[in-house]
Structure 1
Amino acid sequence: MPNDKLDPLYEATINATEEAIINAMFAAKTMVGRNGNTSYAIPKDRVREILKKYNLLSRI
């Protein structure tokens, strides 16, 4: 594949990977694991407030 065709392919791969990670982070729920170790869900409402405050919601 010629180099000029690879850049868009790599960019699409990076974007898809980034989107998958963000989706997984926001889909996760609070969980308690072994020895009481707790992983907390991301507070979606709070994130929305922060994005709104810095005018970043329109970018999403």
Structure 2
Amino acid sequence: MQVQCPTCKKSLEWDEANPYRPFCCKRCQLIDLGAWANEEYRVPAENADPSDLDQGGHRPDNED
């Protein structure tokens, strides 16, 4: 199966012989890791409702 390297977009074979999958090489893998470390990528999240947040560890289903 052919895939594109997420970093350089080079086409490569998805093969167990490539230890850097889904990247084409170690360099592209490290570039991607650096982008995560620099917080260039973010996972989208919804704003939390303050009433949904844990307030001091008391859980309503554990009432005494």
* Common fold by TM > 0.5: no
| TM-score between the two structures when normalised by the length of structure 2 | 0.28
Where relative contact order (Cα < 8 A, 6+ residues apart) is larger, the structure is: 2
| TM-score between the two structures when normalised by the length of structure 1 | 0.29
